Amino acid sequence: MRRQGPPGASAQVSLGALFAPRTVAIVGASPDSAKWGHILSQRALASPGDRTILLINRHAREVLDQPTYVSPRAAAAAHDVRIDLAVLCVPASGFVAAVTDAVAAGARAIVGITAGLSEAGTEGARIEAEALAVARDAGAVLVGPNCLGVVDTSTGLQLAHATLPAGDVAVLSQSGNLVLDLAGLLAERGLGVSRFVSLGNQADLGLVDFLYACIDHNGTRAVAVYTEDVVDGRGFLDAARALRDAGKPLVLLAPGRTEAAIRSAVSHTGSLTSAAMVLDAACAAVGARRVEHPTQLADQLEALRSPRRMSGDRVAVLTDGGGHGAVAADALAAAGMRTPELTGELVTELRAALWARAAVANPVDLAGAGEQDAASYARGVALLLPSDQVDGVLLTGFFGGYSTEQSNLTEPELAAVAQVAATVAAQSKPLVVHTIYPDSPSAEALRAAGIPVYRDVDRACAVLAGLVEHESAGLAEPLPVNAAPVTDTSYDAARALFVEAGIAFPAAVSVTDAAGFEAALADLRFPIAMKATGRSHKSEGGGVVLGVADRDAARTAYDDLMARLAPPTVSVEEMADLTDGVELIVGSVRDPKFGPVVLVGLGGIFAEVLADTACAIAPTSPAAARRLLLSLRGAPLLLGARGRPAVDLDALAELVARVSLLASAHPEVAELELNPVLAGQSGVLALDARVVLEVAQVPLVETVDPGVLGREDAVIERP
């Protein structure tokens, strides 16, 4: 990327030339209405304001009844001006020459519509690099190439395929057609575009640069991004965090949830961590919202205009029919939200406020009371929304339908809407409405009050999920650790690296001969385990022996290991007590875009079977690691389910944080893994360790199968 932080003074000048140019040159202006040179010439000439538009056509043909010039320099000289922005609609073969001529005419910003460079292989890369060097030498910035233009409605600049509606949402996109789709969806919601940038190849300016450019742009209140590749992951995190701090929500549409694992499965951690998971973790770290499709993107942008947010995932469902309530509860669960049972004084108040047939456990079902008493909707909202038992409210069902009828129910429902709006305005939690009458007068009145209204319940639930503000989202400050480069990936070295980071293991002695083995037996408590180390997969061929109960059994097992495998070393380890413990996997991988990522999962080596994992951008704090652990579906096991004792969650979170810090301190390490980690009532122990270097990516230690850790004299073989 061109910059790793906010643009400096010279870059800001160049961005001013991009978004607020006084003179624009369209290089490759064409009389052919099917060509970009014609379309963008037309857009430029029709844009409001008094900027000078210069059309460049090497044959000096008239375009759109306007004179043209053979080059930017000729046009600038004829008008005695300096060109601020040059838009290049030229073939790839003429791209370098066009950039050279543009900067010679004074251009400080260049938009490269030119396509075909990526398809041209090495020659295309050479052309792109040469053009970029020319631009940078002149102090100019380049958008693209292979992009579809720029728009800034605050300055009247419209240089895109279609005229975009004015508004306050900045749109940064790798897709042109998707922007047209989004613009229409925004317009339906009374929203519009402040700036649009087609990112193209991002040879110079990229997504991160334009995110920073939105921070101080007064015309932008929110940012929408469509990208297929976050090129600079850490830069994205910094820019997104700065946007959050500026109070400008960032909503990201990025395909790739079905993408395969980040790397080949060198470790369980590597195979369990996908690029989609990492991107979700990145968004969570900086308070950005990731959505699945353009409609959801527009919905979320609309909802985020309100200052009301959810501090957690608890939703009260208020409905006028049991069916709608049940469907809504399922839709909330699918969106990662909870519908907790209501208790105590709140239930008492609901029973007093609603008629006798109402169900008040959650969903709160008015059971047809609207036809008798439309104000019951307002009373329900007034009790639920302020309650400390919920973080937001979903109103779902028929409400809105009474105002569509010419009956004595119309005015009562509109009066209830006014009461609901007053309740919402008086506090900081969101109300979202799903109604089967989204175009009714009541629905329009709710929207006018800033309350989101949807026809589809899944859209309403997705919006609620997007309004959750995760507490203390962000990265931890790196702590002092031994950052000397890791070069030794042996099992003993892996354990030592983790131990130095403050992670506990069972007592162990590494031996190379029978005498050392006898000495180890004198120092360790039975039962013990033996691992044939120095092998790429130590369990292959029975390289792991577990549950050895006494000296005689130990000597027999050791002799058998040496006879069968002749390992250079054997790790002799005390067996951990698995009683009431919970086994997990804790590890990290180095993502090529976002750097180190920490992963946690239940089940140790069975994490792949259970598919219950979560990840976060490293380094992470113990508090954030605790939230990560509690996000697992099996978190009740950690808290003490079905009479089991709770594990030491603080110690477990501290271990996760230390792994994340260790990963952050060692860029030469591709993967770290503790598998399994045994969490108990009074602490945590790592039972196995693995380190994989970035270059070699060779696994060192095979993980012990926790399913047999309690069996005496067990010999483990894994195919």
Return the amino acid letter for 171.
V
DSSP bridge pairs for 315: 392
CATH superfamily of 507-574: ATP-grasp fold, A domain (3.30.1490.20)
**Distance from C-alpha of 48 to C-alpha of 45, rounded to nearest angstrom:** 8
Give per-residue pLDDT as tens, 9-27: 455 657 999 999 999 999 9
In the numeric block, the tokens 């306050």 are attached to: 168
Q: Give Rg (Cα) of the chain.
A: 31
Instruction: Look at residues 616, 679, 625, 639 and name the one whose alpha carbon lies nearest to residue 269.
Output: 616
How many CB atoms are closer than 10 A to CB 122?
A: 7
Q: What topology is assigned to 315-466 in CATH?
A: Rossmann fold (3.40.50)
Give the CB-side neighbour count of residue 125, counting CA atoms within 13 A: 2
> What single string gives the DSSP state of each residue in 508-539?
EEEESSHHHHHHHHHHSPSSEEEEEESSSSTT
Q: Matching CATH topology for 151-303 and 582-704? A: no
**Distance from C-alpha of 688 to C-alpha of 584, rounded to nearest angstrom:** 11
pLDDT at 261: 36
Instruction: Look at residues 296, 325, 326 and name the one whose alpha carbon lies nearest to residue 395.
Output: 325
Kindly state the DSSP code that residue 371 receives in the 8-state scheme: G
Return the amino acid letter for 545.
V
**Distance from C-alpha of 215 to C-alpha of 633, rounded to nearest angstrom:** 37
pLDDT at 607: 80
Report yes or no: 463 and 295 within 8 Å, Cβ to Cβ: no
Report yes or no: 371 and 413 within 8 Å, Cβ to Cβ: no
pLDDT at 303: 94
pLDDT at 456: 96
203 phi and psi angles, rounded to 5 deg? -65, -35
Return the amino acid letter for 168.
D
**Distance from C-alpha of 660 to C-alpha of 503, rounded to nearest angstrom:** 12
Burial of residue 50 (CB within 10 Å: 0-12, 13-18, 19+) is: exposed
- Written as six digits, the tokens of 302 are 């609309």
Peptide bond into 667 cis (omega under 30): no
Instruction: Look at residues 609, 552, 592, 578 and name the one whose alpha carbon lies nearest to residue 678.
Output: 578
Q: What topology is assigned to 151-303 in CATH?
A: Rossmann fold (3.40.50)
Give per-residue pLDDT as tens, 176-193: 888 999 999 999 999 999
In the numeric block, the tokens 């961005």 are attached to: 15
Give per-residue pLDDT as tens, 610-665: 889 999 999 999 999 999 999 999 999 999 887 789 999 999 999 999 999 999 99
Domain chopping of the chain, boundaries: 9-146, 151-303, 315-466, 507-574, 582-704
Positions of the chain with pLDDT lower than 70, given as ranges: 1-13, 256-271, 406-407, 470-483, 535-541, 695-719
Order of strands, edge to edge, in the sheet holding 431-435? 364-365, 315-319, 392-397, 431-435, 453-454
Return the amino acid letter for 237.
L
In this prediction the pTM is 0.87
- Characterise 81 by phi-psi region: left (phi > 0), alpha (psi -120 to 50), beta (else): beta
Exposure string over 256-277, b if 16+ CB within 10 A, otherwise e: eeeeebbbeebbbbbbbbbbbb
Query: How many Å separate Cα 124 from the centre of its chain?
Result: 32
Residues recorded for the chain: 719
710 phi and psi angles, rounded to 5 deg? -90, -5
Q: What topology is assigned to 582-704 in CATH?
A: D-amino Acid Aminotransferase; Chain A, domain 1 (3.30.470)
Q: What is the 3-state secondary structure (H, E, C) of 90-129?
A: CCHHHHHHHHHHHHHCCCCEEEECCCCCHHHHHHHHHHHH
CATH superfamily of 9-146: NAD(P)-binding Rossmann-like Domain (3.40.50.720)
- Characterise 166 by phi-psi region: left (phi > 0), alpha (psi -120 to 50), beta (else): beta
Instruction: Look at residues 145, 146, 185 and name the one whose alpha carbon lies nearest to residue 169.
Output: 185
Report yes or no: 469 and 429 within 8 Å, Cβ to Cβ: no
Kindly state the DSSP code that residue 80 receives in the 8-state scheme: T
Measured between alpha carbons, how far is residue 115 from residues 133, 137, 206, 685 in Å? 18, 23, 17, 56
3-class SS at 492? Answer: helix
pLDDT at 5: 61
> What single string gives the DSSP state of each residue in 161-191?
SSPPPEEEEEEEES-HHHHHHHHHHHHHTT-
Query: How many Å separate Cα 438 from the centre of its chain?
Result: 31
- Written as six digits, the tokens of 47 are 């844009």
Report yes or no: 697 and 688 within 8 Å, Cβ to Cβ: no
Inter-helix orientation angle 410-425/375-384, to 10°: 10
Give per-residue pLDDT as tens, 394-431: 999 999 988 887 667 889 999 999 999 999 999 999 99
